[in-house]
Every structure is written in structure tokens, then in C-alpha cells.
Amino acid sequence: MTVLFWDIDGTLLTTARAGVFAWDDAVREVTGRDFELAQIRIAGLTDYQIAVKTFESMGIEADEALLHRMVDRYGELLPASLPRRTGRVLPNVREILEHLRDRSDVRSYLLTGNTRAGAQAKLTHYDLLHFFPDGAFAEDAGERSAIAARALELVRRAHADVADDKVFVIGDTPHDIHCANAIGARTIAVATGGYRIDELRAHDPWRVFEELPPPCDFARLVA
Ligand SMILES: [Mg+2]
């Protein structure tokens, strides 16, 4: 059994940063102050880590409850903010997922710094949700590698025959590469998000591409 763990933003799709509307509105509601997420580099950070940075930049001491309130509100506002920008599914993504859907020896799951609600909103908007039976999501401000560990637990529970050398993380940032390393997975890094190919290569992924290869080439790579 081959398992593919997919990052969302910059890997499966780009929302063209439409999420910032929901984020800025959620910050305004939760703190009563104006805020612009555009000031912070967020590629590869989990939603909770972005919340920590947001409050830090505003000089607000945030406890766990405030972080959850902020991220939950963002998730509620996100579906309405996604249509405000024209994003897209990234090259070859839909074709690869369709090509692999009928393979009984390959399974795709989400491994993302989005919350479950945020991931659902984005994948529903871009009609990709049906490709993924489940996944591991951000649940607190902890490390992304903890999400990867939960993802691995999930697939080991679901499938008894996951081969150690057949677990792949597909992602667009050094954070994805590090979290893949943390669970002994191979990273397929793709420069369709916030990082260039040479920046990704410096973190020593298993493979790195400008964009994901066509379905047949991708399938040969992983299965
Ligand atoms: Mg990403």
C-alpha cells in the first residue's frame, strides 16, 4: 500500500490568498482592532501558528482559548471569503488524483496546517474534497510534525499493509519536508507555492519539481 499525504495551500490549490479576508475579519471581531495579515509571511505555518504570530504582532497575550476562538471564527468566515478571489487547482493535481482514484494500492490523505473546517472549506470550493477520505489537521499551536505523526497513526489504523518506503508527503514548503522527515516519509516538493525550487532543494527533499508531473509520471514515481 502506497500512502500519499497531501498539503493543501500551494500544493493542491491556491486560494489567491482569499483566506486573508476571513482572517482579517475574524481578528477584528475577536480583538476589536484592525489587522492586516499581508504583513506576515505565513507559507507553511499552521492556522494556530498564524494566530500566535498575529497576536504577537499586535502585542496581545493569547491563551489557548483565545487562539481557538480566533481560528474557529476564521473557519466559519472562510467559505464566504473564498469566492472573493479567483484561485485555482494547481497543475496536474486533479488529473493525478483522478488517475490514482481507482488504484486499490494507493491512498491519498490530507496532511495540512489548516484546521479540519478550513481544509473542508477550501477543498469544497475547488471540488477536491471527494478525493480524500480523511486526513490530519492542525488542532493546536504545536509543531507541524505532530500533525504528521497523527496522519501516520491514522493510516496505520486504516490499513495494515502500509510499507515504510511507500509513504510520501507532497508539499510546497520546507515545513512539509521537515514534517515528512519526522515520520520517515519521502517528500515530493513542488515549487507552486511560497518557495522557489532552489530554496526547497536546500532542505533535501526526496524529489523536487517546478510543478507536479503528469499523472503517469507521478504514478511511476510513487507506486
Ligand atoms: Mg503549503
Q: Provide the residue-wise pLDDT of the chain in tens; the chain has 223 residues.
A: 999 999 999 999 999 999 999 999 999 999 999 999 988 888 778 999 999 999 999 999 999 999 999 999 999 999 999 999 999 999 999 999 999 998 999 999 999 999 999 999 999 999 999 999 999 999 999 998 999 999 999 999 999 899 889 999 999 999 999 999 999 999 999 999 989 999 999 999 999 999 999 999 999 999 8
Homologous superfamily of 2-15+87-222: HAD superfamily/HAD-like (3.40.50.1000)
Residues of the chain with CATH 1.10.150: 19-84
Distance, in Å, from the CA atom of 73 to the CA atom of 96, rounded to the nearest integer, reads 33
CA of 170 to the centre of ligand 1 (A): 9
Q: Ligand 1 center to residue 12 CA distance, Å? A: 8
Fold of 19-84: DNA polymerase; domain 1 (1.10.150)
- Ligand 1 centre to CA of 171 (Å) is 6
C-alpha of residue 66 to centroid of ligand 1, in Å = 25
Distance from Cα 130 to the centre of ligand 1, integer Å: 20
> What's the predicted TM-score (pTM) here?
0.96
Distance of CA 7 to the CA centre of its chain: 3
Q: Distance, CA 19 to ligand 1 centroid (Å)?
A: 13
Look at residues 151, 158, 190, 148 and name the one whose alpha carbon lies nearest to residue 173: 190
Find cell 497531501 and name the residue. Answer: 6
Which residues have a Cβ under 8 Å from the Cβ of 30 and sit 6 or more positions away? 66, 69, 70, 73
Ligand 1 centroid vs 58 CA: distance in angstroms? 25
Domain with CATH 3.40.50.1000 in the chain: 2-15+87-222
Q: Quick one: pLDDT at residue 123?
A: 98
Cell 507506486 identifies what position? 223
Biggest alpha carbon–alpha carbon distance for the chain: 52
223 Cα–ligand 1 center, Å: 23
Output the CA 42–ligand 1 centroid distance in Å. Answer: 9
CA of 64 to the centre of ligand 1 (A): 24
Please give the distance, rounded to the nearest whole angstrom, from the Cα atom of residue 172 to the centre of ligand 1: 5
Q: How far is the CA of 26 from the centre of ligand 1 (A)?
A: 21
| Ligand 1 centroid, distance to 44 Cα (angstroms) | 5
SS3 208: strand
Cα dihedral 141, 144, 148, 150, rounded to 10, equals -10
The helix (H) or strand (E) run that includes residue 219 is helix 215-222
